[in-house]
Amino acid sequence: MKKLIFIISGVVLAFGARAQFSIEAQGKGAIASTWLFNKNISDLGEEQDYAMAWGSSYGAAINFYYKNVGIGIEGLASKHVGGYSGRLGDFNYNSQVTLSGYQIPVLFKLKSDGGVYLELGVQANGISNANYTAQSDLGETSDNVSGSYAKSYMSAVFGFGANVKLSKKIPLGLLFGLRLNYGFDDSKGVDALGNDLDNKLIYNTYEKTNAASGAFMLGLTYSFELKK
């Protein structure tokens, strides 16, 4: 992380020595539709199925632009929830796993003069706590399953939106957009019933878990330009 900050600082100083560039500081949050996909769960039919679940994130970002091309880094506290439902015999159940942790996206950015932007990059995801809960006709259960999940994993990020200026006199903007995220590393974990996915007595072939989300982003931006 220190090396990444050093590189970004070097780019900013280089731009500042030669040409006009701009900096954006942002406070932002997101509500996301979140999923934990695993092929072994997908193959089980009504016994274990996916259900809609919602996660969130919030934090700060800083973006460095040379003209309309830039790079950004964010630090976000996050909750990623995997939701499930199913039927065992005569009983229906719903369950979910809540992953609490952090997200650090590093993004290549393009923007128009009017504030519309595109972003593409990678994201480091950390999992500090994982909690499993289930509700069925027989009652409720909960368990801390942090030991079953990876401590961290990487994901790909793609997003778009707009940063709308609120005033000509004050360099504040209202940020809103959509962001898609898909984990290409294995986040590991448990199934819809709370069983460890690497339990060979239950699953003959191990399949990795991919975390995915689609988020609505909202925030405030303070921007300023530095000239040659």
| Amino acid making up residue 77 | A
Q: Is the predicted pLDDT of residue 228 greater than 90, yes or no?
A: no
**Weakest-pLDDT range from 12-16, 38-42, 154-158, 183-187:** 12-16
How is residue 154 written in tokens? 């990487």
Q: Is the predicted pLDDT of residue 50 greater than 90, yes or no?
A: yes
For the segment 98-122, what is each residue's pLDDT rounded down to a tens digit? 999 999 999 999 999 888 999 999 9
pTM above 0.95, yes or no: no
Q: Is the predicted pLDDT of residue 5 greater than 90, yes or no?
A: no
Rounded to the nearest angstrom, the gap between the alpha carbon of residue 218 and the centroid of all alpha carbons in its chain is 14
Q: How crowded is residue 127: how many other Cβ atoms within 10 Å of its Cβ?
A: 21
pLDDT at site 138: 82
Answer yes or no: are the C-beta atoms of 126 and 152 closer than 8 Å: yes
DSSP 67-112: TTEEEEEEEEEEEEEEEEEEEETTEEEEEEEEEEEEEEEEEEEEE-
pLDDT at site 16: 47
Answer yes or no: are the C-beta atoms of 195 and 137 closer than 8 Å: no
Q: Where along the chain do its domains lie?
A: 37-226
C-alpha span between 108 and 71 (Å, rounded): 5
Q: Is the predicted pLDDT of residue 2 greater than 70, yes or no?
A: no
> What confidence tier does 89 reach under pLDDT thresholds 50, 70, 90?
confident
| Averaged pLDDT of the chain | 91
Burial environment of residue 86 by CB neighbours within 10 A (0 to 12, 13 to 18, 19 or more): buried
For the segment 121-146, what is each residue's pLDDT rounded down to a tens digit? 999 999 999 999 999 988 899 999 99
Answer yes or no: are the C-beta atoms of 109 and 80 closer than 8 Å: no
For the segment 136-195, what is each residue's pLDDT rounded down to a tens digit? 988 899 999 999 999 999 999 999 999 998 887 888 999 999 999 999 999 999 999 999
